[in-house]
């Protein structure tokens, strides 16, 4: 395993961090035994950073991490979890939520505690409730080691949060070669590093959407002199940057764990040549031409009051566009209706059931106009209209 500088701390993190929000399922629920086995395999290979959060796997992720770090594994890793800031209504909630999380983990403390998915406005609200003063007291009491935050805000919004507190230890952002020219983008990554704060990368492969490329992208990768998987290209691009401390991966089976360990062991700053970087840029440009909905399947938008499975609808639509297989996408969409008739689903989860209440849109880290896209998904997949990469096209 390769290890990297972690901001200004006297600690080196494994290049690969284990993201604990995409564990495997069995018989309709998280396969906890296999998840523990996967985590321990990663730790045995040198992973020393486990990232979980209050809502992951409907609250089961923290329990699983707690199981995984027993039997001597706790001393080998940094355990990281996150405050569900959207559940904070008053200062009393700070201790209440942390107490609940530590009980789930069955631990007296965690190493890093993050304010989950905050932007500049949420940070102002939490500061007004006294979260920073509370955090310093909790650190002094040994309840967690240091404070950080994750964010899906713009680069400017993240900068304002960073500048609002001098003791941040890490900042977790979405970053990958597709989003490098968007928000928060490369300038934000560089600013995080300039503050001496560790840059922890989430969605480095955009929720796995960069793993299995469409034919037009695969043709570009095939031009490379050195063959790599699409996942390895995405990960090595991240690890080539000196500002990156950790790349998190939400691994869903043991094969992904093994593949990512192999990639991490081969990583280093500046690994990719100028020719490699030019090829990545060509791929990025191609994705920009063919992408439709910028959904990463994080499921923060769920549950939907109308029962719509928002990420599933978007995933079907995007696959139809990217892989140039609209009829397969329509078939997958039709199956969702068939599942209801067969009693395999309790509600019609298709986009056509969207009520346009827009409750989901305030929760979406990608700021997707979900209701508008739902109407387009329903008309394209349910009524046979062309699949387009832009709203209203």
Identify whether residues 272 and 343 lie together within a single domain.
no
Phi, psi of 307 (to 5 degrees): 85, 5
Identify whether residues 349 and 272 lie together within a single domain.
no
End residue of a domain, out of 229, 256, 290: 290
pLDDT at residue 223, rounded to an integer? 95
Rounded Cα distance between 303 and 309, Å, is 8
Identify whether residues 285 and 251 lie together within a single domain.
yes
Identify whether residues 180 and 138 lie together within a single domain.
yes
Rounded Cα distance between 255 and 220, Å, is 25
91 contacts 125 by C-beta, under 8 angstroms = no
pLDDT at residue 83, rounded to an integer? 97
Identify whether residues 278 and 322 lie together within a single domain.
no
In-domain check, residue 84: yes
Q: Which residues contact 364 (CB under 8 A, 6 or more apart)?
A: 300, 301, 370
CATH (domain of 111): 3.20.20.100
In-domain check, residue 13: yes
The secondary structure of residue 120, as a DSSP letter, is: H
Instruction: Choose among 331, 249, 234: nearest CA to 279.
Output: 234
pLDDT at residue 338, rounded to an integer? 84
In-domain check, residue 392: no
**H helical segments located in 249-360:** 254-266, 274-290, 310-322, 326-341
In-domain check, residue 153: yes
Identify whether residues 274 and 354 lie together within a single domain.
no
pLDDT at residue 344, rounded to an integer? 66
Rounded Cα distance between 322 and 314, Å, is 12
Identify whether residues 264 and 148 lie together within a single domain.
yes
End residue of a domain, out of 290, 320, 339: 290
Q: How many domains does the chain have?
A: 2
Identify whether residues 212 and 316 lie together within a single domain.
no
Identify whether residues 153 and 239 lie together within a single domain.
yes
Full residue range of the structural domain in which residue 332 is found: 310-382
118 contacts 172 by C-beta, under 8 angstroms = no
Rounded Cα distance between 152 and 156, Å, is 11
Q: Specify the 3-state DSSP secondary structure of 150.
A: strand
Identify whether residues 229 and 180 lie together within a single domain.
yes
End residue of a domain, out of 260, 290, 320: 290
Per-residue pLDDT of the chain (393 residues; tens, 9 = 90+): 999 999 999 999 999 999 999 999 999 899 999 999 999 999 999 999 999 999 999 899 999 999 999 999 999 999 999 999 989 999 999 999 999 999 999 999 999 999 999 989 999 999 999 999 999 999 999 999 999 999 988 899 999 999 999 999 999 999 999 889 888 999 999 999 999 999 999 999 988 878 988 889 999 999 999 999 999 999 999 999 999 999 999 999 999 999 999 999 999 999 999 999 999 999 999 987 887 998 888 888 999 999 999 999 998 998 898 878 899 999 999 988 887 776 667 789 999 999 999 999 999 988 999 999 999 999 999 999 999 888 877
Identify whether residues 239 and 345 lie together within a single domain.
no
**Strands, E assignment, 34-185:** 49-51, 78-83, 110-115, 144-151, 170-174
Identify whether residues 33 and 102 lie together within a single domain.
yes
């Amino acid at each position: 395993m390769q290890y990297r500088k972690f901001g200004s701390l006297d600690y080196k993190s494994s290049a690969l961090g284990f993201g604990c929000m995409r564990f495997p399922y069995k018989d309709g629920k998280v396969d906890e035994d296999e998840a523990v086995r996967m985590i321990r395999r990663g730790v045995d290979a040198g992973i020393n950073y486990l990232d979980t959060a209050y809502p992951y796997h409907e609250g089961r992720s923290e329990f699983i991490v707690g199981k995984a770090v027993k039997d001597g594994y706790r001393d080998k890793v940094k355990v990281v979890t996150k405050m569900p800031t959207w559940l904070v209504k008053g200062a009393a909630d700070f201790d209440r939520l942390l107490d609940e999380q530590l009980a789930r983990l069955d631990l007296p403390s965690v190493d890093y505690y993050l304010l989950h998915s905050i932007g500049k406005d949420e940070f102002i609200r939490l500061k007004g409730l006294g979260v920073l003063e509370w955090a310093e007291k909790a650190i002094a009491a040994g309840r967690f080691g240091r404070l950080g935050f994750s964010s899906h805000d713009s680069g400017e919004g993240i900068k304002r949060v960073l500048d609002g507190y001098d003791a941040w230890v890490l900042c977790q952002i979405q970053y990958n070669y597709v989003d490098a020219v968007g928000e928060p983008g490369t300038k934000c990554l560089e600013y995080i590093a300039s503050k001496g704060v560790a840059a922890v990368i989430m969605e480095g492969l955009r929720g796995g959407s960069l793993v299995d490329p469409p034919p037009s992208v695969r043709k570009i990768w095939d031009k490379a002199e050195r063959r790599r998987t699409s996942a390895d290209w995405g990960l090595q691009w991240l690890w080539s940057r000196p500002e990156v401390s950790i790349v998190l991966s939400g691994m869903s089976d043991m094969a992904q764990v093994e593949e990512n360990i192999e990639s991490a062991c081969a990583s280093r700053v500046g690994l990719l040549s100028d020719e490699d970087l030019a090829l990545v840029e060509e791929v990025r440009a191609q994705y920009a031409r063919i992408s439709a909905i910028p959904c990463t399947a994080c499921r923060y938008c769920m549950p939907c009051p109308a029962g719509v499975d928002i990420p599933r609808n978007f995933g079907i639509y995007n696959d139809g566009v990217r892989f140039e297989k609209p009829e397969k996408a329509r078939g997958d969409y039709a199956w969702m209706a068939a599942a209801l008739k067969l009693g395999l689903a309790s509600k019609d989860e298709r986009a056509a059931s969207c009520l346009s209440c827009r409750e989901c849109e305030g929760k979406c880290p990608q700021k997707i106009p979900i209701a508008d896209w739902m109407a387009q998904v329903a008309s394209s997949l349910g009524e046979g209209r062309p699949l387009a990469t832009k709203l209203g096209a």
